[in-house]
Structure 1
Amino acid sequence: MTDNCLELTGSVVKPPKLSTSPAGIHHCQFVIDHKSTQIEDGLNRNAFVRMQVVATGQWSQSLTRDLTAGCNVKVRGFINRHERRNGNPILVLHAQQIEMIN
């Protein structure tokens, strides 16, 4: 088995949405924008990523209260493929740890 771990910092795009599955599991969904300059083959490269994030479980309820549009966070977790309602696939970061950044 190989590792699947991603750490990404970014700014929350809009307030998160809280939902509850039929099994009673809480999910907090939000989107972050990441902008940085990376060095690739000795050259600067601008990187921009918009990533959907989902946090699952009891802690997701407090996240919904704490996260606001524009706040900066560091998210650590794993990525998984989801399908939108229209059938288009997207990558989603399943948060295992979220840290607020000043």
Structure 2
Amino acid sequence: MADSPSELALNLVEIGGIICKAPKFSQSPAGVPHCIFVLEHRSIQLEAQLNRQSYVRIQVVASGKEHQPATEYLQVEQQVRVRGFLNRHQGRNGLSQLVLHAQQIERIN
């Protein structure tokens, strides 16, 4: 049975963690502000009725003026929860990486 187009379009991630690399701020040629940081997540997740260590480091990109209040005071070792979508970015070296594009950022501490 085929998935409906709306099910195939679903791309939503919510993850909590600690900022492990200092946020970098930039602006596109069109004037769109960007904040880029790396989020580190560590937890224990249940899989097949067994505890599994989960460890992820993912780059987060927050673009647009609406994110400036949430990103303005971000710093290393701060706990945050990020909600957004995944996208592939290709670096200058030609390697691809998975990036979380933030739609909502919540500072936890």
Q: TM-score range by the shorter chain?
A: over 0.9
State the 1:60 CA deviation: 3.6
1:5 matched to which residue of 2? 12
1:83 matched to which residue of 2? 90
Please identify runs of 4+ aligned residues in structure 1 that moved more than 3 A.
Answer: 59-64
Deviation string 1:23-68 (CA, Å, 9 cap, x unpaired) is: 1111100000000001110111000000100001113433443101
State the 1:84 CA deviation: 1.0
Tell me the TM-score normalized by structure 1: 0.94
Deviation string 1:63-102 (CA, Å, 9 cap, x unpaired) is: 4431010000000000000011101000110000001113
Question: Is the CA contact (8 Å cut-off) linking 2:70 and 2:106 kept in structure 1?
Answer: no
- How many residue pairs match? The answer is 102
Tell me the TM-score normalized by structure 2: 0.88
State the 1:15 CA deviation: 1.8
Q: What is the root-mean-square deviation of aligned Cα atoms in Å?
A: 1.2
Q: Give ranges in structure 1 of 5+ residues lacking alignment.
A: none
Identical amino acids, percent of aligned pairs: 53
Which residue among 55, 75, 78 is the counterpart of 1:71? 78
Q: Report which of the two structures shows the higher radius of gyration computed on alpha carbons.
A: 2
Which residue among 17, 26, 33 is the counterpart of 1:19? 26
AA aligned to 1:10 is G
1:19-58 matched pairs, under 5 angstroms: 19-58=26-65
